[in-house]
Amino acid sequence: MNKYLRIIILIFVSNMLFSIANAGSDGSLEMKTKSNSGEINDCFEKVNRGIFAFNQGLDKVIFKPLATGYRKLPQPVRSGASNALGNLSNVVTIPNNVLQGDFKDAGVNTLRFVINTTLGIGGLFDVASYYGLEKREKEDYGQTLGTWGVGEGCYFVLPVLGPTTVRDSLGSVANIMGGDTWYNVTIANDTQYFNEADYYLSKVMSGVDFRAKNLESFDSLERTSLDLYSSVRSLYLQDRRKKIQNLDEITETLSDDDWEEVDAQ
Partner 1 sequence: MNTFRIITIILISLFITKLTYAKNPSDLINEIVNQASIVLSSDDPVESKIIKLNDIAERNVDIDGIGMYTLGKYRKSISDEDKSKYQKLFKSYFLKSFSSRLVDYTDPKINVVSEKKVSDKYTIVNSVLEASKGRPEVKIDWRIYTKNPQKPLIRDLMVEGLSLARTQKEEFNSVIQNNNGDINSLFKVLEEFIIK
For the chain, state the CA radius of gyration: 20
Query: Does 190 sit near partner 1 (CB under 8 A)?
Result: no
- Tell me which residues in 205-224 interact with partner 1 (CB under 8 A): 212-213, 215-217, 220, 223-224
Least CB distance to partner 1 at residue 216 (A): 6
Tell which positions 22-51 bind partner 1, by CB under 8 A.
Answer: 38, 40, 45
Out of 17, 47, 77, 235, point to the residue binding partner 1 (CB under 8 A): 235
Helices 196-213 and 215-224 cross at an angle (nearest 10°) of: 60
- Does residue number 227 form part of the binding site for partner 1 (CB under 8 A)? yes
Binding flag, residue 225, partner 1 (CB under 8 A): yes
Q: Which span sits near partner 1 by CB under 8 A: 14-22, 29-37, 142-150, 237-245?
A: 237-245
- Position 259 contacts partner 1 (CB under 8 A): yes
Please, what is the Cα angle at 74 between 70 and 76, to 5 degrees?
Answer: 110
167: amino acid identity, one letter: R
By CB under 8 A, what part of segment 67-106 binds partner 1? 71, 75, 78
Should residue 226 be labelled a site residue for partner 1 when binding is judged by CB under 8 A?
yes
Beta bridge partners of residue 156, listed in sequence order: 164
Q: Of the listed pieces 9-17, 89-97, 191-199, 228-236, which binds partner 1 according to CB under 8 A?
A: 228-236
Local structure of residue 156 (DSSP, 8 states): E
135 sits near partner 1 (criterion: CB under 8 A): no
Q: Which is nearer to partner 1, 188 or 221 (CB)?
A: 221
CB of 134 to partner 1, least distance (A): 14
Q: How far is CA 211 from the centre of its chain?
A: 13
The one-letter code for the residue type at 8 is: I
Q: Which segments of the chain does DSSP mark as H helices, in order?
A: 2-22, 27-37, 45-58, 64-71, 75-99, 103-118, 127-130, 141-147, 166-174, 181-183, 196-213, 215-224, 228-244, 250-253, 257-264
Determine which helix (DSSP H) or strand (DSSP E) holds 165, and give its type and residue range.
strand 162-165
Alpha-carbon distance of 185 to 198, in angstroms, equals: 10
By CB under 8 A, residue 264 contacts partner 1: no
Binding site for partner 1 (CB under 8 A): 38, 40, 45, 71, 75, 78, 212-213, 215-217, 220, 223-227, 229-231, 233-235, 238-239, 242, 247-252, 256, 258-259, 261-263, 265
